[in-house]
Structure 1
Amino acid sequence: MTEAGTDLHGAVDQVMRRWLPRSGAPSVAVVGPAGSGRSALAAALAPLLSGVRVGDGVADPGTVVTVLTFDASAPIGREELGLLAEARERGSTVIAVVTRVDLHHAAATVADRDAALLSVHAPGAVTGPVLLVSATTGRGLPELCAVVGHALGDTGSTPHRRAELDRARTLVLATAADLRRDGDSAALRERRAALVADRDGPRAESGAALRRLSALARVDLTHHVADRVRAGTAGLRAELDRSGKSALDAFPDRVRGEIESLTAEVDATTARALDALASEVLGAPHPVAGPNRPPPAVDDPQPRHRGVEDRMMILVGASAGAGLGRLVVAPMSEIPALDLLALPLPLVVGGVAAWALTRMRGLAADRAHLRLWLAEATAQVRSALEGRVLARLVESEAEIVDAVQRAHRDRVRTTEDSLVAVDRELRESAARSSGRLAAVERDLVVLDRALAEPSASALRPSPQ
């Protein structure tokens, strides 16, 4: 062999050991059903087959020869045929043996029966005849080793070696294609794109949620203020209609107390709504500022000025009382003793009637005056409470926006750090892929040269 051929031969062996580590040393697997004596046979074959890996019940894709053990006590069944089918699928050479023949005198008959069954159910699947062996006495082991050695010798032929080289070349080509696609870098690029896309996403989502929820909160709170003011006004108006003179004098203070209670209730409702708004936008509880405006205040009602109507009511009351007095005194005129009451009694009754009518007219006028004042105060309080609520909402929106901006800045810093790490991994992956691709392409050149070599010696594996 020339020096160039020797170099190619060594290079091919190195490439084959890298890509097909099991291709250098041939492998023999002893398989069979439980109780067939496969373990004892594997232990007996291992020292007899030099440079061969003997596996007990282990058959991998690199197995070259499979020794299928049959029990001498009974013919083969479904389990043995299943093991035979698996060995054929792996492409290994199958040798059938009947074991423990030293314990069964009819082992030869069982072997003939097994051969007949194999010829029917799996013709051509077994190499050579069914051998009779005994791991205990050593019977049949030389014949078995000869058949195994012959099968292993066939695997060292040029066609078999070329098939192994083709298989290694297929693996090299697949690996080179994967490296050119650079799956690790593709995953890193996808991760980088996701980081960039997600960097500004939460801020936009939070802004949209804030606009939507703040608009809803504005509508809900203004409606709440209107409803509470309307309900409070209705109660005060009903109370005003039932009030006497002393209650009318205390009615402004009663209205101020109701305004304070209403303001506290509206502030509490606003605080709950703003807390819920901040929690939903920021994803966590966030305290909002309290009211920065004083509670609404109303002025005292102006004194009611007495007009012509009050004076006319005094005259009407006096006239009505005088007429009522004359009606009372008329029957008394027939009694001489009561003539003295004919003059003062109508005056007294007229005065009392005038006083009563004037008082009732004044009470009704005072109620009407306070009712007008209550309507004006209600409009003023409603406007003040709506402004109070909207001011708190605007301030809370500003606080939430600041919190979103702070969270966004923190997220951007974290994302930038992650992007730096991903970019570093991309550079390292590219460097690794480039180096590995160069090594894989060198192995591919070696395999292509070996497959193109016309000499069979260049294709044979090195002796073990």
Structure 2
Amino acid sequence: MPDSDSPGVLPADASSTGAVHSEIGGPALPAEAVAVVERWNPQGVALLRAMEQPGTGARVVLYAVDDANTTLLRTELARFEPRIDLADPAAPMSADDRPAALILFDAGSVLGADMLALIERLRAADQRIVLAMNGFHAYQDWQAIRERSRALLAARGIVDLDVLPVSARLAAAARAADDSALLDRSGLAALHAALAAATAQGPADGAQRRSAVLTRVLADTKARITEQITALRSGTDSARIREERVALLAERDGGRQTGLSAVRSQVQLARVDLSTEVGALVRALHTRSRAELDRCDRDELRAYPQRLQQAAADLSTAVDTVIDDRVIETARRVGTAAPAARRRDPAPRLGPDPAPRHRGVEDHLMIALGASAGVGLGRLVVAPLSLVPTLDVASVPVTLLLGAGAAYWVVRARAQLAERNHLSQWVAEALVNIKALLEQRVAAVLVDVEAELAEHVIRESTARAVAVDRRVAELDVLARRLVAERPAQLAACERDVAVLDRCAATIG
């Protein structure tokens, strides 16, 4: 049976129910038949009520954008009886002709200024207006758009004009599936009833036309009852309940195993990615350190351990940021909320400062080689002086001084190179220690994250399992109730069919 809250149902006025019954029923339609039609086919009651209202003429002028949706609505509306002729606004008409107007706009946008001006112009000409929004099925916020359109009309003092939601595509789908409930939800029957009311000529509209409409409404109502009888006898509802129950039992664990497997796989993937990222960051720092050591002088070499400690602290901060981002991404992939913010550990220490370099045999060897090279260089420089006998003796001290200076420079340069190599070796060892500490931090964080995500998955799966058990119990109760109520429902449906058959025989 149709739902009166669906967009396509015209609500009946409770205060006028008795009047409707007397007008529709009269000698042609008994009150019990009116009750059956009203219960099973509310749109049919609306159509019969529309046939009793005074209209403005037999034609309806359509004001709408000429697109595929409008064409589909014309096609589906033409399947209803009595047939509503939709004319073009440019079609010629007499001066006394005041046809009703159907204004159609898209359900995705509110009424515009041009359409509001058209409504005011038609109302000023005392034309009856039916306002509808087409394609509401495609927009989730169509109800809000409908209310905004109503507000725009009310702001202009138009409070007696409603906005009917319709969907020609839903009507086409209902016709293809032979689904009367979907047809009611499409709103097309409600639109047809409104247009029939706008074009009816009152009780004198024609006994033959009214009889044809009444016969169609009774046949449609009987078809709906027959459809319900077929469903009851075939046990379609019971089969659907059994299928739903089987599907629920298949997911009785609430997705716990699937969720835990996803947590484990994603945490392992995060561990691999973070270890690779930490290795890349440490290698980049090592490369940068070697380049800096090549440019350092003796004073800068002595202060370099402090610089490397600051670089390690910056590296630790970068790794913490990468870990946090990866944890959030892991939680998103698992489908759970991100874990709470973790406590940041202090930056890892490089370890003890480099030990002083001890002089070895190579240092003494460099002193000897430097002195020898210096003396040879001095002799080469003062060789021209030896040609002068008076300056030959003076060249000896010069030779010794040059030899000592060259030896001092060679020894100092060799010491700086040795110190640089010594410090470079210390940097490599320190960064290996830093890498190990950062990888340990990654592992510790991921262990905590895995435990927290697993706990979250278990909580959610437990809640889903409880909901599944509750729903299974509801389905069991519903299945037993359907079995118990089916005979009574079949008897009620058959009584309604008998009432309609008697009424149809009277009209025929």
Give the TM-score, by structure 1 length. 0.55
Query: Gaps spanning 5+ residues in structure 1: where?
Result: 1-25, 31-44, 89-133, 156-163, 334-340, 451-456
Change (3 A) 1:348 1:417: same
What is the Cα deviation at residue 238 of structure 1? 2.0
Deviations 1:281-327 (A, max 9, x none): 12425426526853344422422233234224324434554665574
Residues 34-73 of structure 1 correspond to what in structure 2 (within 5 A)?
none
Change (3 A) 1:439 1:235: same
Q: Provide the C-alpha distance between the structure 2 equivalents of 1:281 and 1:375, rounded to a whole number of angstroms.
A: 38
What is the Cα deviation at residue 362 of structure 1? 0.4
Q: Does 1:294 align with 2:289?
A: no
Q: Does 1:308 align with 2:365?
A: yes
Give the aligned partner of residue 64 of structure 2.
none
Q: Does 1:364 align with 2:413?
A: yes
Change (3 A) 1:439 1:311: same
Q: Does 1:211 align with 2:206?
A: no
Which of residues 470, 483, 492 is equivalent to 1:434? 483
Which amino acid is the alignment partner of residue 261 of structure 2?
A
Give the aligned partner of residue 264 of structure 1.
313
Change (3 A) 1:415 1:395: same
Deviations 1:244-283 (A, max 9, x none): xxx3xx4553221222022112101110110011111124
Which of residues 238, 245, 248 is equivalent to 1:181? 238
What is the Cα deviation at residue 234 of structure 1? 0.9
Change (3 A) 1:291 1:177: farther
What is the Cα deviation at residue 207 of structure 1? 2.7
Change (3 A) 1:289 1:203: farther
**Other structure's SS at 1:391 match:** helix
Change (3 A) 1:177 1:352: same
Q: Which is further off, 211-220 or 395-404?
A: 211-220
Change (3 A) 1:413 1:331: same
Change (3 A) 1:308 1:51: closer
Conserved 8 A contact 1:199-1:415: no
**Other structure's SS at 1:86 match:** coil
Q: Provide the C-alpha distance between the structure 1 equivalents of 2:32 and 2:486, rounded to a whole number of angstroms.
A: 33
**Other structure's SS at 2:255 match:** helix
What is the Cα deviation at residue 372 of structure 1? 2.3
Change (3 A) 1:292 1:434: farther
Q: Does 1:237 align with 2:286?
A: no
Residues 30-429 of structure 1 correspond to what in structure 2 (within 5 A)?
86=81, 171-178=228-235, 181-184=238-241, 186-187=243-244, 190=247, 193=250, 196=253, 198-239=255-296, 243=297, 247=298, 250-283=299-332, 284=338, 286-287=341-342, 290=345, 294-305=349-360, 306-318=363-375, 320-321=377-378, 324=381, 327-328=384-385, 330-331=387-388, 333=390, 343=393, 345-429=394-478
Q: Provide the C-alpha distance between the structure 1 equivalents of 2:357 and 2:59, rounded to a whole number of angstroms.
A: 113
Change (3 A) 1:190 1:351: same
Q: Provide the C-alpha distance between the structure 1 equivalents of 2:28 and 2:470, rounded to a whole number of angstroms.
A: 55
Q: Provide the C-alpha distance between the structure 2 equivalents of 1:234 and 1:443, rounded to a whole number of angstroms.
A: 93
Conserved 8 A contact 1:325-1:349: yes
Change (3 A) 1:29 1:196: farther
Give the aligned partner of residue 112 of structure 2.
none
| Percentage of pairs with the same residue | 11
What is the Cα deviation at residue 226 of structure 1? 0.5
**Other structure's SS at 1:209 match:** helix
Which amino acid is the alignment partner of residue 203 of structure 1?
L
Change (3 A) 1:367 1:420: same
Conserved 8 A contact 2:252-2:469: no
Output the aligned Cα RMSD. Answer: 5.3
Give the TM-score, by structure 2 length. 0.51
**Other structure's SS at 2:357 match:** coil
What is the Cα deviation at residue 393 of structure 1? 1.4
Deviations 1:114-171 (A, max 9, x none): xxxxxxxxxxxxxxxxxxxx99xxxx9xxx9xx99xx9xxx9xxxxxxxx99996764
Q: Provide the C-alpha distance between the structure 2 equivalents of 1:361 and 1:167, rounded to a whole number of angstroms.
A: 109
Which amino acid is the alignment partner of residue 221 of structure 1?
V
**Other structure's SS at 2:342 match:** coil
Q: Provide the C-alpha distance between the structure 1 equivalents of 2:419 and 2:228, rounded to a whole number of angstroms.
A: 100
Change (3 A) 1:184 1:237: same
What is the Cα deviation at residue 219 of structure 1? 1.5
Which protein is bigger by CA-based radius of gyration? 1
Conserved 8 A contact 2:382-2:398: yes
Give the aligned partner of residue 180 of structure 2.
none
Aligned residues: 328
Conserved 8 A contact 2:293-2:424: no
Change (3 A) 1:186 1:407: same
What is the Cα deviation at residue 184 of structure 1? 4.8
Q: Provide the C-alpha distance between the structure 1 equivalents of 2:238 and 2:373, rounded to a whole number of angstroms.
A: 111
Which amino acid is the alignment partner of residue 302 of structure 1?
R
Change (3 A) 1:216 1:355: same
Which amino acid is the alignment partner of residue 300 of structure 1?
A
Which amino acid is the alignment partner of residue 433 of structure 1?
L
What is the Cα deviation at residue 403 of structure 1? 1.1
**Other structure's SS at 1:295 match:** coil
Change (3 A) 1:288 1:176: farther
Conserved 8 A contact 2:253-2:461: no
Change (3 A) 1:342 1:279: same
**Other structure's SS at 2:358 match:** coil
